[in-house]
Amino acid sequence: MKAFLDALDPEGVDCALAQAIDPARLPAHIAIIMDGNGRWARRRGLPRIAGHKAGVAPLRTAVDTCARLGLKALTVYAFSVENWKRPRAEIETLWRLLRHYLRAEMPEMHRNGVRFHAIGRLDELPRTVRDELEESMRETSANRGLQVNLAINYGGRAELVDAVRALVEETRRGQISSDVVIDEAAISARLYTAGMPDPDLLIRTSGEMRVSNFLLWQIAYAELYVTETLWPDFTRAELLRAILDYQKRDRRFGGIGAPAQSTADDGVPEAVAVPSR
């Protein structure tokens, strides 16, 4: 945290926000639905592709910020299993941008100790894209800092289908016995995110109040943060604000959490005055 603060302009807003963050209560894992590239471009009279290009810089900043804060994982939604419905030229541009991003960011990923991982049905991607993803995973596999998961040709339902298929296949091969109880741990261990903590905070840009088939299993108890900001305008300051907002939340995980209001002797909460409108 100190190294992160030292790297920021002491007079700037990022530094003031970062100083307000409690380093003991950072989210271990942040997930982001990077939405609004198309609208950002349209508002400027530009082709949608220009929005995706403008979306690269905030991605770089988000990775850098999470790595320097010492988080365990950042998962970003780059391409969903439904995104094949987009125009072919747009899809091709996304692949080109991805290849360029991975090559250009490699030195910075190493400097920040980032381990890169791609999640999704990678076998359905064009060969060149798959090769590049695999090469980046291999190249960063020894890094021990932030794990960046790029969700690509990803769908939350598809991931659950794949996990169940894996269980069935392992049973068929006799790798697990058919009378073993299938529990939540058995499913989690077969998700693309196996071994990673679930996201604590899910951020969605561009104001849409949807989960869009992203990490359906893993976000069961994630705190949601939706901002009207379009992804190309998403700054480090806004990411720090999302973390500060997260730190104000009372996470109960289905329990009752810390006492937030006084209770009468019988344990029943006293009436809470609701201001009339």
Residues near ligand FPP (CB under 6 A): 34-39, 52, 55-56, 59, 78, 83, 94, 97-98, 101, 231
Query: Is the Cβ of residue 115 or residue 190 nearer to ligand FPP in the bound state?
Result: 115
Q: Among residues 246, 260, 257, which one has the least CA distance to residue 20?
A: 246
Q: Which is nearer to ligand FPP, 8 or 34 (CB)?
A: 34
Q: How far is the CB of 159 from ligand FPP (least distance, A)?
A: 18
The Cα angle at residue 162 between residues 136 and 218, in degrees rounded to 5: 75
Select the residue whose beta carbon is closest to ligand FPP and give its number. Answer: 38
Q: Choose between 15 and 98: whose C-beta lies nearer to ligand FPP.
A: 98
Q: Does the active-site annotation cover 83? A: yes
Query: 83, 112, 213, 245: which one is catalytic?
Result: 83
Nearest-approach distance from CB 106 to ligand FPP, in angstroms: 13
Q: Supply 259's token pair.
A: 């006492």
* Nearest partner of 136 among 118, 153, 151, 123, judged by Cα: 118
Torsion over CA: 207, 213, 218, 221 (sign): positive
Per residue, what are the HEC states of 143-181?
CCCCEEEEEEEECHHHHHHHHHHHHHHHHHCCCCCCCCC
Q: Nearest distance from residue 68's CB to ligand FPP, in Å? A: 20
Cβ 146 to ligand FPP shortest distance, Å = 16
For the chain, the helix, strand and coil percentages under 3-state DSSP, each to the nearest 5: 45, 15, 40
Q: Toward ligand FPP, which CB reaches closer, 171 or 212?
A: 212
Classified as helix, coil or strand, 117 is strand
Active-site annotation holder among 35, 64, 198, 200? 35
Query: What residues are labeled active site?
Result: 35, 83
